């Protein structure tokens, strides 16, 4: 499934890839079937909703959701067109823009979540126990920590 080796870590990586692809495909399908926007939109809405003041600098958001800047420009365009967020000029730095989630944006996030959550539960949560989940979560957290540490 991956390589000419049987290292448990290599195995885990290969299965991580396969799991990710398969679950994301299913989740996107469920969202589309419910006439809801894609996962990427949810991520943006969620980050903005979490942020202090419900707004974030674009480049800041781009980093959090690991998206290229150009990509975020256009993703933001779409969300803005849909009325789910607004651009707002940044007073300190005239190059910059904040993205600010609108009420419609918050409502949309709330509407997406149960559908998304149901998929996570059915496909992911129900197949593992809390202990496994914790081990996984901790492992991912170390990996992400190391990644952000070295640069």
Partner DNA sequence: AAAAGTTAATTGCAATTGCAACTACTATTT
Partner DNA sequence: AAATAGTAGTTGCAATTGCAATTAACTTTT
State the residues that interact with its own copies by CB under 8 A: 1-4, 7-13, 15-23, 25-26, 46, 65-66, 113, 116-117, 120-121, 123-128, 130, 132-147
Rounded CA-CA distance 41/84 in Å is: 9
From the list DNA, its own copies, none, partner contacted by residue 89 (C-beta under 5 to 8 A by kind):
none
**Continuous H helices in the chain:** 8-33, 39-50, 58-64, 69-81, 103-119, 130-149
From the list its own copies, DNA, none, partner contacted by residue 139 (C-beta under 5 to 8 A by kind):
its own copies
Long-range CB contact pairs, 133-137, < 8 A, 24+: none
Least Cβ distance, residue 6 to its own copies (angstroms) = 11
Q: Whose Cβ is closer to its own copies: residue 66's or residue 89's?
A: 66
């Amino acid at each position: 499934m991956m390589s000419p080796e049987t290292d448990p870590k290599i195995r885990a990586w290969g299965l991580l890839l396969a799991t990710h692809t398969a679950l994301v495909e299913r989740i996107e399908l469920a969202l589309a079937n419910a006439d809801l926007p894609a996962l990427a939109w949810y991520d943006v809405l969620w980050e903005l909703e979490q942020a202090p003041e419900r707004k974030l600098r674009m480049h800041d958001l781009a980093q959090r959701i690991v998206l290229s800047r150009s990509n975020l420009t256009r993703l933001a365009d779409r969300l803005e067109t849909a009325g789910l967020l607004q651009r707002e000029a940044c007073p300190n730095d005239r190059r910059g823009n904040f993205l600010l989630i609108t009420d419609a944006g918050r409502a949309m996030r709330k509407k997406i979540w149960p559908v998304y959550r149901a998929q996570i539960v059915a496909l992911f949560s129900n197949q593992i126990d809390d202990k496994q989940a914790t081990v996984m979560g901790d492992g991912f957290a170390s990996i992400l920590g190391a990644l952000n540490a070295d640069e």
